[in-house]
A and B are shown apart, each in its own frame.
Chain A
């Protein structure tokens, strides 16, 4: 019965939450050690140049530049950045639930899909 209130108000969510000091800070320290630990373990086991992971992030842009035209790839990237910058001013409703902002979810999915397709083609 209390459920609904907890779901909608930040004050109640905070009330049910966890103290920042020291509980949360201690856990954050744990996460920091975990993250740096993972980086250090991978770094000591694998030479970065042998894995070639970095290429994946830019393979899509390379492929688009190859298949269409370099300036077109530049334009698309510029438009995506402009879209991201403008997003809070385009999507002005109070709704935050993803299913209630379908238009913007679809646009974002479209961007991700195009990126994935070109990445797969380019790899």
Chain B
């Protein structure tokens, strides 16, 4: 009896397995994933790259994905006006998971900075910016600037004490920029009033920076795939 049910169980399982294989094969053949999968199956990760410091780019990426997802949630609840910003951020805590989403967004941002700095250091120490990986490095530096811009514009959004300090320092540090023709238009809001700065920061934080970031991330990954990971020292 037990044997019988066991064999019908294994029949069911192998039947399910067969269906799974068929569906997978169909998706692979129709989507053109075939070549990609074939190539990927052959790939081996070199021994030296199994070292955890080679994981830091991936950790940065995971943290960025977490930031994107929680950011989508928060953007629906935040109101970018001087009068409402602080209040709307407090109100997020009243919504289910709201406080949790805010906290995760903030901690993931900290992790991103730590991970990206350590990743940069790893790539620098192993000399991986050298020929032929110049473009990988250049796109990385742009990603670094974008990441810090994300954090700075993010600081302005709550319109609290830290936002004032950030705005003040930014307009001092970038003081000369507002007089330069084209750049001045893009960064002119820094020297403007509180609402102007908030609108500018919010716009950068949720449109230009995510778009630019995604673009350079795709390019970064394409370059890594093209050249492979750098060899052992």
A contact residues vs B (CB 8 Å cutoff): 6-10, 13-21, 24, 28, 31-32, 35-36, 38-40, 42-44, 46-48, 53-55, 57-58, 61-62, 65, 70-71, 73-74, 77, 81, 84-85, 87-89, 91-92, 94-98, 101, 108
Give the interface of B toward A (CB within 8 A). 40-41, 43-50, 55, 58-59, 62-63, 66, 100, 102-104, 106-111, 113, 124-131, 133-134, 137-138, 141, 144-145, 151-152, 155, 162, 165-166, 169, 172-176, 228, 230-233
A-B contact pairs, 16 of them (CB 8 A): A13-B46, A13-B49, A17-B47, A40-B104, A44-B100, A46-B107, A57-B113, A71-B172, A71-B176, A77-B173, A81-B141, A85-B141, A89-B134, A94-B131, A96-B130, A96-B233
A-B contacts besides A14-B46, A43-B106, A97-B233, 14 pairs, CB < 8 Å: A7-B233, A9-B231, A21-B43, A32-B58, A32-B62, A54-B155, A70-B175, A74-B172, A74-B174, A88-B133, A96-B128, A96-B233, A98-B125, A98-B126
B176 touches A74 (CB 8 A): yes
Closest Cβ of chain B: how far from A118's Cβ, in Å? Answer: 13
The residues of B that contact A108 with a CB separation of less than 8 Å are 124
Chain A contacts for B41, CB-based, 8 A: 19-21
Contact between chains at A48 and B125 (CB < 8 Å):
no
Alpha-carbon gap, A19 to B44, bound state (A): 4
If A18-B44, A71-B173, A96-B128 touch, whether A13 touches B109 (CB-CB below 8 Å) is no
Q: Are B50 and A39 in contact (CB under 8 A)?
A: no
Chain B CB within 10 Å, residue with most, of A15, A70, A71: A70
For residue B109, give the distance in angstroms from its CB to the closest CB of chain A: 7
Query: What CA separation (Å) do A39 and B107 show in the bound complex?
Result: 6
Contact A88 B47 (CB under 8 A): no
Contacts of A61 in B (CB 8 A): 169, 173
Q: Is the CB of A20 within 8 A of B40?
A: yes
- Which residue of A is nearest B59, CB measured? A35
List the 5 closest pairs (A to B, CB-CB), nearest first: A70-B172, A96-B127, A10-B231, A48-B106, A13-B46
Q: Which residues on the A side are within 8 Å of B48 (C-beta)? A: 13
Contact B173 A97 (CB under 8 A): no
- Report A-chain residues with C-beta under 8 Å of the C-beta of B144: 84
Residue in A7, A35, A47, A65 whose CB lies within 8 Å of B172: A65
The chain B residue sitting closest to A48, CB to CB, is B106
A96/B137 in contact, CB under 8 A: no
The closest CB in chain B to the CB of A76 belongs to B173
Known contacts A42-B107, A70-B169: does B45 contact A31 (CB below 8 Å)? no
Q: Do A73 and B47 form a contact, CB below 8 Å, given A31-B59, A44-B100, A62-B165?
A: no
Task: Please tell me if the beta carbons of B232 and A8 are within 8 angstroms of each other in the complex.
Answer: yes
Distance (Å) between the CB of B146 and the closest chain A CB?
12
A97 near B232 (CB under 8 angstroms)?
Answer: no
Whether A101 lies near B59 (C-beta < 8 A) is no
Q: Are A39 and B169 in contact (CB under 8 A)?
A: no
Q: Which residues of B contact A7 (CB under 8 A)?
A: 232-233
Residues of A within 8 A of B107 (CB): 39, 42-43, 46, 48
A62 near B169: Cβ-Cβ < 8 Å: yes
The 8 Å CB contact of B46, one of A16, A84, A98, is: A16
Q: Which of B102, B113, B129 contacts A88 (CB 8 A)?
A: B129
